[in-house]
Chains A and B, each alone.
Chain A
Amino acid sequence: MEKDMKLDKKNELKEKLAHYLFLFNATVAIISVAAIAFFVFYRGLQPFIPGNAEGNYNLIDFLSGLEWRPSLGKFGILYMIVGSLLATFGAIILGVPVGILTAIFIAELAPKWAKKIIKPAVEMLAGIPSVLYGLFGLGVIVPWIMQISPQAQGQSLLAVIIVLMIMILPTVITITESAINSVPDAYREGSFGLGATKLYTIFKVVLPAAKSGILAGVVLGIGRAIGETMAVMLVAGNLIAGLPKSIFSPIRPLTTNIAMEMSYAFGLHQEMLFATGVVLFVFIILINLILSRITRGSVLK
């Protein structure tokens, strides 16, 4: 009896210790996100508050401007917002069907040997550093687009879309696959039992059941695409003004604007780069809100 009680006490202490250890680790993430948000917003909103030491800039001009010339005091980012959104949209349109079909193949159709090849390949794709995607884009995709483009250069919206499409594949595939796997086998058996074919079962039973999980994958893919920096910097062209007129026009995504100039910038220029970061942050927050809405009723939990 006494021995048991001692053991219980010991266990209780252990539980408590573990509890605080986990709690401590969890706060690291919370503190980080709060600190980053505070830092970016604090620096990035300065230029729009009257009486700022580094000078002021009109918020409307900032959000609706079509020209970025820091040396002339012109900080317009509308054309970057449009470029970032178009690139993300294009990558999703091309990447999501490929990703979902790949996931269906892995989860439902592929023989074991094919699974053994595809799954590691997808995981490898996720692990490739983004700058290498950029080098691939610059060395292969940009020259290819130059051949088919009516414009004189290959750096373009299309190049960004293709690079981003490849980059979001692992996210879409992995999450879709686990969503499909979490659909109970009873659903499939029921469908087969009613005489449905395999394809009918996949598209009419399994996919609808996995819908919210798949949507979560798509939203995470959007997040990855809009936040990508190094890879797109090498293939976007990063022009200083003007909305993209066609898929062959160069663009300047929000992320590369910050990454290219931060090391050189000071004063108002630097604060305007932080302001660009605020816009990017707002987009990411929106995406996360949508994601939490979607996953609320998900099979994935």
Chain B
Amino acid sequence: MKRSKFSFILVLMLALSVFLVACTSGNETPPTEEPGTEEPVAEEPQNLSGPLTLSGSTSVEKVGLALIEEFMALNPDVVGTYEAIGSSGGIKNAADGVTQIGTASREIKDEEKAWGIEELTIAYDGIGVIVNPANPVEDLTIDQITKIYTGEITNWKELGGNDEEIVVVSREDGSGTRGAFEEILGFEGKLTQKALIAEGNGNVQTTVAGNPKAIGYVSFSSLDNTVKPLKVEGVEPTAEDVINGTYKISRPFIFVYKEENLTEPAKAFLDFVMSEEGQNIVEENGAIRVK
């Protein structure tokens, strides 16, 4: 009897605490929002505070987070977040005002431009074509890569490699990197049916690193030494070659936003990104500076 009484009280207390938590968190939300909305009225740009929200491309995440981190170090009262949900989602979030800034790792489509968003190109990225380190092939032309991905070339022998079937690795439909890759090479919608689909840059690299017959593509910023990046048309995949236009498989990193959704911290952040310091951070994180 005593025991059941005790457990009954315990259950009651648990239920009560759940209610309390629900209530208090409900009360807490408005105050945290207020500073953000009031901030634009204040004339002091030195004391920025409030939320700074970004969402979008998984490829821009590394650069975006590094920029946010440095910006938060300079402005301790700003709370910045980056949600990596993909370019399309980020652009949509910026248009809907879900986040102040959306990020994209591809050109903005016309149907998206129709949502009335501003664009700011903050960097460039190259897409590296990667193979397993055990693969003797070093250099491919744009035409050869396209034919591999459309299924016209199916054996490494045809490219000067071993007599082995090519395992084509691509990204999921809607991925910014895949969109950029197919658009730059001009084979949109013609990906071979045999292609394996890996989710995210990391998975592509793991798949290629684990299979000597595989070919894949990832953005420069996530390249690591478990895989071998190929030369394209004889050009090494380096930042310099993207800037001078000789490395063909490259794409822009774009921030999109609606002017009316930008708070003071967000405006200051955009200035910071395009400053000398911001562009240095871009470069340190594997992307290619625009200024």
Contacts and interface: CB of A to CB of B under 8 A. Distances in A.
A124 interface: no
Interface of B: 8, 11-12, 15, 85-89, 92, 164-167, 172-175, 188-189, 191, 193-199, 203, 206-207, 210-211, 213-214
Interface string A150-164: 011111000000000
Contacts, number: 92
A265 B174 contact: yes
B203 A21 contact: no
Contacts of A252: 197
A72 B193 CA distance: 14
Interface in A220-240: 233-234, 237-240
Contacts of B195: 239-240
Contact of A154 (B174, B189, B199, B211): B211
B133 to A, nearest CB: 15
B15 A153 contact: no
B10 to A, nearest CB: 12
A18 interface: yes
B166 A152 contact: yes
A112 interface: no
Contacts of A155: 196, 207
Given A155-B196, A238-B196, 7 more contacts: A71-B174, A146-B211, A152-B167, A153-B211, A261-B172, A263-B85, A266-B88
Interface string A22-43: 0000000000000000000000
A260 B172 contact: yes
A260 B203 CA distance: 12
Contacts of A261: 172-174
B193 A263 contact: no
Contacts of A67: 193
A69 interface: yes
Interface residues of A, number: 38
A264 B196 contact: no
A153 B196 contact: yes
Given A71-B173, A152-B165, A264-B89, A234 B203 contact: yes
A271 to B, nearest CB: 14
Contacts of A68: 173
13 contacts: A142-B210, A146-B211, A234-B203, A238-B196, A239-B197, A240-B193, A261-B174, A263-B86, A263-B174, A264-B88, A265-B88, A266-B88, A266-B92
Contact of B189 (A14, A72, A152, A266): A72
A118 to B, nearest CB: 32
A10 to B, nearest CB: 11
Contacts of A264: 85-89, 172-175
A242 interface: yes
Contacts of A72: 189
A238 B198 contact: yes
A239 B193 contact: yes
A72 B173 CA distance: 10
A126 B288 CA distance: 46
A95 interface: no
B193 A260 contact: no
B189 A269 contact: no
B229 to A, nearest CB: 21
Select the residue from A68, A72, A143, A239 with max chain B CB neighbours within 10 A: A239
B89 A263 contact: yes
B196 A237 contact: yes
Interface string A129-143: 000000000110011
Contacts of B210: 138-139, 142-143, 146, 154
B8 A14 contact: yes
Given A146-B211, A264-B89, A264-B173, A71 B189 contact: yes
A241 interface: yes
A195 B276 CA distance: 90
A69 to B, nearest CB: 6
